[in-house]
Amino acid sequence: MTDLPKALIVSTERWPSATWLCLALAESGLFSVAAVTPAGHGIRQIDRVAAHFTCNAHSGTPDCLLRAIAAWLPDIVLPCDELALAWLRSLHARAASRSGDQWQTLKLLIERSLGDAGSFDIAARKTAFVDLARSAGIGVPQTVVVGSLDELHARLASTAFPCVLKADGSFGGLAVRIVRSAAEAEQAFTALTAPPSWLGAVRRAVQHATVKPLLDRMQASPPTVALQQYIEGTPANRAVACWQGEVLAGISVQALETVHPTGPATVVRVIAHDEMAQVATHIAAKLRLSGFHGFDFVIERNTGRAFLIEMNARPTQTCHLALDSAGGMITALAGRLGGGQRRPVAPVSAGTVIALFPQELWRDPNSSYLRTAFHDVPWEHPRLVAAYLAPPARGWMDVLVGCLQRAVRRPKPDSSAAMRQVAPPLITSKGR
């Protein structure tokens, strides 16, 4: 029997999407899977993961990832968050500057995992990516870089409200502000360009026993901020699996609920949208992408046109789902790496509404979607379900600072009680 291709999952954040992707890879029968995660990550509850490696997201170096690659010898590395992605790019730069077979092998592995190295910088900078898309004739919001408050004021004189300010180097919509006046825009620009707080740096340094957060605070430089046209519409995403510029498979969804107005989706509807699919195919070919990628759009309310907002050069929340019984993106990627045939799965179809677990539960334990939507709860893995019933617990320093900052705290919803109300068979584990 041919050896299965070896995938290395890298997740420095405790995001559930990384766990579901790892579970789907491990259960597919197409990959042998190992994972680089912090202690206590949900992935460590998956029995079929062949090897676990521990990382410290606050160490400041990707050496833990380098050691895992040397020990596991993967065929592909899948970074599941921005820090993991930055580690891979850092190792690629290190390998490109050194000689020797081991460094050349590492360089080629990272390019096989992410795509052509020429795409790394463009994918990392939102403003550069929008410029690339515009030059290719793709519909994008009008976007200009603003370097100061004076420049912002000058641009606002010819800009309609509402508009958007966003900073490079962020994720999850955390550095995106929708502003409706010049005063709001000035406040947002000041907040986005402000250095990280010393209080937060001290908290992370104490909690993780490292001086790295303090060094980062001292060396911090303002991010690039862009002023962007606001598109009235609905957020959407096209997730794809690519290989050397070719899109192998994908799934498009439209957001019905989000964590916050500019944040990730918690409930989505599967859609068929030719324009989104064509844009993803075009960008993948232009940047010669490999691995999993997600493209964020806004579907304009009046026209149905899809405006490309940004690209995530990593798996997004729906990469483990399949649109057909053949197995979707995981099967397609395994085929290029020499994997075999995946067991049939129950697919999701266009029009299906999916309440992402546990994201919608965390957003609103009383959400009607917990009873009416399609779910992807792995009931056959009760330890995993239990691990994600509530958001990750905060460290003691976070709790202390929170108490000092807020004299009154709102009680947390009882997530476990909400899940007991919608236990199987109302929630199924189909679509894996």
CATH of the domain at 219: 3.30.1490.20
Same domain, 328 and 374: yes
Residue 349 lies in a domain: yes
Residue 328 lies in a domain: yes
Residue 122 lies in a domain: no
Same domain, 362 and 274: yes
Residue 180 lies in a domain: yes
Last residue of a domain, one of 182, 205, 229: 229
Same domain, 225 and 237: no
pLDDT given for residue 113 in this prediction:
97
Which tens digit of pLDDT belongs to each residue from 312-368? 999 999 999 887 655 689 999 999 998 655 555 556 777 899 999 999 999 999 999
Residue with the larger pLDDT of the pair 2 and 247: 247
Same domain, 207 and 109: no
Same domain, 403 and 254: yes
pLDDT at 424 over 70: no
With a CB cutoff of 8 Å and minimum separation 6, the contacts of 422 are 370, 371
Q: List the Cα angle 188/257/42 in 5-degree steps.
A: 95
Q: What mean pLDDT is predicted for residues 266-273? A: 96
Same domain, 290 and 336: yes
Last residue of a domain, one of 172, 202, 229: 229
Lowest mean pLDDT across 58-62, 79-83, 394-398: 394-398
Same domain, 168 and 252: no
Same domain, 298 and 403: yes
CATH number at residue 351: 3.30.470.20
- Of the pLDDT bands very low, low, confident and very high (cuts 50, 70, 90), residue 423 is low
Same domain, 351 and 247: yes
Residue 432 lies in a domain: no
| Residue percentage of the chain with pLDDT more than 90 | 63
Residue with the larger pLDDT of the pair 408 and 99: 99
CB contact at 8 A, 106 and 38: no
Which tens digit of pLDDT belongs to each residue from 190-226? 988 887 665 665 565 555 455 455 455 555 567 889 9
Give the total number of structural domains in the chain. 3
Q: State the Rg of the chain over Cα.
A: 21
Same domain, 244 and 225: no
pLDDT given for residue 418 in this prediction:
52
Last residue of a domain, one of 198, 229, 260: 229
Residue 84 lies in a domain: yes
pLDDT at 409 over 90: no
Backbone angles phi, psi at 135, to 5 degrees: -65, -20
Residue 46 lies in a domain: yes
Torsion angle, alpha carbons of 163, 168, 170, 173, to 10: 10
Same domain, 284 and 403: yes
Residue 101 lies in a domain: yes
Which domain range does residue 218 map to? 142-229
Same domain, 246 and 368: yes
